[in-house]
Amino acid sequence: MTERRLVLALDTATPSVVTGVVALTGDGPQTLAQRVVDDHRRHAEVLTTLISEVLAEAGIGGADLAAVVVGCGPGPFTGLRVGMATAAAYGDALGLPVYGVCSLDAIAAAVTESDEADAGDVLVVTDARRREVYWGRYTGGARVAGPDVCAPDAVPPGGAEVVAGTPGFTDRYALPVAAVTAPTAASLVAVAAGAIRVGAVPETLTPLYLRRPDAVELKDQRRKSLLG
């Protein structure tokens, strides 16, 4: 009998807050409950409530979980920190392993699972603010370039056949646009599935900022102005 593992998944690296409960079996991840809120200004306000809702809908408690998976970006400093801190806190409180995954990898996995890209090349771009995007390119689900951050027009699309990610940026490329705009609970778990199945010890959660936080840069600019 194939072992069934229940996993809590969450991501706050994009403008969407994503959380869900996923059953990981030999047939792959199966979503039991999921919530998505598209409001980058309310990550901290809604995340804990959404987690309570998906656990209740799945009919389980924290003690039933086998692991937590969280998107580690790339993403803006404040939003990304909310999701990772919450995941770490749940893992610590419940004694669960917490697996960090690249959020762009999870978006690419969601595209592949949706049959919008027939195992071809997928370009993923998400809003990095400051008129820039975070990006990665994938072949057959494997990342072959990125993650990186740059102006949208500077992204090398390579042989991408479809683009997915943040609306308003995906339409800048001469490519079909996938309906996937953020990771799903199932795609987050899919990226970490191999490690979860073998009970691998998770690596330390490390955020993929790809650049310094705005607050640090402003502080440095002020220091330079004072020094003349």
If pLDDT is split at 50, 70 and 90, which confidence band does 113 have? confident
pLDDT at residue 30 greater than cutoff 90? yes
Q: Could you give the percent of the chain with pLDDT greater than 90?
A: 79
* Cβ contacts of 4 within 8 Å, gap of 6 or more: 23, 24, 25
- Taking all residues of the chain, what is their mean pLDDT, rounded to a whole number? 90
What burial class does residue 106 get, using C-beta atoms within 10 Å of its C-beta: 0-12 exposed, 13-18 middle, 19+ buried?
Answer: buried
What's the confidence (pLDDT) of residue 39? 76
101 has pLDDT over 60:
yes
pLDDT tier at 3, thresholds 50, 70, 90: confident
pLDDT tier for residue 2 given thresholds of 50, 70 and 90: low
Give the per-residue pLDDT at 217: 46
Quick: pLDDT tens for 159-214.
999 999 999 999 999 999 999 999 999 999 999 999 999 999 999 999 999 976 55
Name the band, by pLDDT with cuts 50, 70 and 90, for residue 215. Answer: very low
Q: What is the pLDDT of residue 61?
A: 95
Q: What percent of the chain has pLDDT over 70?
A: 88
Sign of the C-alpha dihedral computed for residues 213, 218, 221 and 227 taken in this order: negative
Would you state the structure tokens that stand for residue 152, as one six-digit string?
A: 């949208």
Is the separation of the CB atoms in 85 and 150 below 8 Å? no
Mean pLDDT (whole number) for 83-102: 97
Question: pLDDT digit string (tens) for 115-138?
Answer: 665 657 999 999 999 999 999 999
40 pLDDT exceeds 70?
no
